[in-house]
Amino acid sequence: MGFLSSTVGRKILMAITGFFLILFLCVHLLGNSFIYFDLINTYGERLHSLPPLVFAARIGMVILFAIHIYLGITMTLENNAARPQAYTVKKSLRATFAGKTMIWTGLVIAAFLIYHILHFAMKITNPDISHGIDMHGRDDVFQMIVLSFKNICIAGTYVVALIAVFLHLFHGTQSFVQTFGLNSDASIPVVENTGKGIAFILFLGYVSIPVAIILGILTY
């Protein structure tokens, strides 16, 4: 408990949970990419044929998100309460818009996560387009995604959330490196460019799906 009661310990735990959440985003994007090969329904069927694994993965992700969000909020409140004799940010982690809005982009992502689960996982928000069956008798995930993103309001919500994810990841990767003391004058540009690269690739990968549907590249 002494480890978690210290600022350093909580920052390390936050960095570790953030790392695993980035891995989740990468794996999730890989699964989503099957939509371009008309394999998304097959992927969905295979995934849900392993209910214990899916359940365990979802519980694990909820725990990671909960820890990460809790630490983010509490540490932000503590830092704000400590000002003006506050914690001084090292020059190696320069103040950026992404850094200044970290708590807000995190809250946007948390709200979006709840909506995303209600939308695609629990199929509550749009039941009229969420229960289709394809010609093989499987849940028609492809139809659900395409019809969802044809709705400009839904697509716009996802794009806004993905911008928040981009900003959060951009700063988060830099924070991760600084937390473990791996930053130096020589590594700062590498860290910043790596953070931008990871965030940009994930952003493009995720946002390409609603954009492709809006443009008629993916259609049902």
Asked if the model's pLDDT at residue 37 lies above 50, the reply is yes
Percent of the chain with pLDDT over 90: 50
Q: What is the mean pLDDT of residues 85-97?
A: 54
Q: What is the pLDDT of residue 84?
A: 56
Q: What is the pLDDT of residue 168?
A: 92
Nearest Cα neighbor of 159 from 117, 196, 210, 205 is: 210
Entry pTM: 0.85
For residue 84, whether the previous peptide bond is cis, meaning omega lies within 30 degrees of 0, is: yes
**Pairwise CA distance, residues 155 & 211, whole Å:** 8
pLDDT per residue as tens digits for the range 70-86: 998 888 888 777 765 54
Containing 13, the helix (H) or strand (E) segment is helix 7-32
pLDDT per residue as tens digits for the range 55-69: 898 899 999 999 999
Asked if the model's pLDDT at residue 153 lies above 90, the reply is yes
Contact residues for 170 (Cβ-Cβ < 8 A; gap 6+):
96, 98, 195, 196, 199
Residue 91 banded pLDDT, cuts 50, 70, 90: very low
Q: What is the pLDDT of residue 6?
A: 78
Q: What is the pLDDT of residue 116?
A: 93
Q: What is the pLDDT of residue 86?
A: 46
Q: What is the mean pLDDT of residues 43-51?
A: 89
Containing 25, the helix (H) or strand (E) segment is helix 7-32
Q: What is the pLDDT of residue 32?
A: 95
Which has more pLDDT, 19 or 189? Answer: 19
Q: What is the mean pLDDT of residues 114-130?
A: 89
Residue 178 banded pLDDT, cuts 50, 70, 90: confident
Q: What is the mean pLDDT of residues 208-216?
A: 95
**Pairwise CA distance, residues 181 & 88, whole Å:** 16
DSSP category for residue 86:
P
Q: What is the mean pLDDT of residues 158-176?
A: 89
Asked if the model's pLDDT at residue 52 lies above 80, the reply is yes
Which has more pLDDT, 28 or 192? Answer: 28
- The region of weakest confidence among 113-117, 154-158, 175-179, 212-216 is 175-179
